[in-house]
Homo-oligomer: A and B are copies of this chain.
Amino acid sequence: MQTRLDRLRAIMAGRALPALLVSAPANRRYLSGFTGSSGALLITPARALLITDSRYTLQAAREAPDFAVRELINPGRPLPAVLKAAAAEQGLTQLGFEAAFVTVAEHRALADALAGVVELVPVEGLVEQLRVVKEADELAILRRAIAITDAAFAATLPRLRPEMSEREAAWMLEVALRIGGAEAISFPIIVAAGPNGALPHATPGDEPLGSGRPIVIDMGARVAGYHADLTRTVVLGEADERFWQIYDIVLEAQRRAIAGMRPGIHTHVVDALARDYIGSRGYGEQFGHGLGHGVGLEVHEGPGLRRALPDAPPVALQPGMVTSVEPGIYLEGWGGVRIEDLVLVTSEGATVLSQAPKLRS
């Protein structure tokens, strides 16, 4: 079986790139297994180095057995000096770097250290394009993260009361996730009651959940570095006519998008399946974000289900991709309804992985 490093090296060969510096934390972990918060990988056809500081060298050797661990030189600005030495040792004259992660200041330090010897080549998405299709072991972890999330939501929902604050509800959900086996939460939990739900990324506060109004709950368990992501909109007490009207539009938009997901279909087409339906019901302007995003070592990663953009062209779905499908309608002064499931693209179509209950199915 081709390892992740093999596949990356094939991509590098296809671009005639003799060496790649991997700085992005999720890419670093994906390729090496190293979970520390600081370090970089230097990948060449023959070698794989993990460069980190003294806090992490023991851990790196344990977690990344396929990599030679090299310690950063302290004190002094360390990475450029280590790379300069490695480049000399290996006779490198070109080095790709991740332009979306290396800062201008870091780039300047690298360029100074390598001036006249190594040409720095900006690249984007080389490791990310591997990460979009999940391997079996990654899927098993994601399924566990999703199951923990579903169970925490289902166990907590009956315990919510109108007089509880958003903050209290978010904490109950967080405890349920952690007790259920999450190593951490995937992101700060959103509980947005009533008008607060009109902010797609509201922060839970003192607002009571209240009765008869929409409550948007967005949450996820992190397991072994992988992120689940689930949104449900609920009502305590009786929901009114208007709520059901909005809810059913969002639910139908989600259903249409998922029904259309299969290998070969492009991401902007999936987005349009939901967006056009919401537009046809008169709420196009109130659905301001993309339909979904990939999940994995990052809670937001490729592929993005959204309108085609000049800088982010659509991609064709492939079996093994896992994305959120999360249409929403946000009405200032009233609130929001968002419904989000994680969906696995299969060889025939798509499987909904999230199993948390909805108000209607």
Contacts from A to B (Cβ < 8 Å): 35-37, 54-56, 58-59, 74-77, 97, 99-109, 122, 124, 171, 174-175, 178, 184, 188, 198-203, 288-289, 306-307, 309-311, 332
Contact = CB atoms under 8 A, between A and B. Distances in A.
A242 to B, nearest CB: 20
A52 to B, nearest CB: 10
A311 B109 CA distance: 10
Copies of this chain in its oligomeric complex: 2
26 contacts: A54-B288, A54-B289, A55-B199, A55-B200, A55-B201, A55-B289, A58-B199, A58-B332, A74-B288, A76-B309, A76-B311, A77-B311, A99-B104, A99-B108, A100-B103, A100-B105, A102-B104, A103-B104, A104-B104, A104-B107, A104-B122, A108-B122, A109-B311, A174-B178, A175-B175, A184-B188
Contacts of A37: 201
A252 to B, nearest CB: 23
Contacts of A122: 104-105, 108
A-side interface mostly: loop
Nearest to A289: B55
Contacts of A174: 178
A289 B55 CA distance: 8
Question: Which of A58, A76, A103, A289 has the largest number of chain B CB atoms within 10 A?
Answer: A103
A184 B204 CA distance: 12
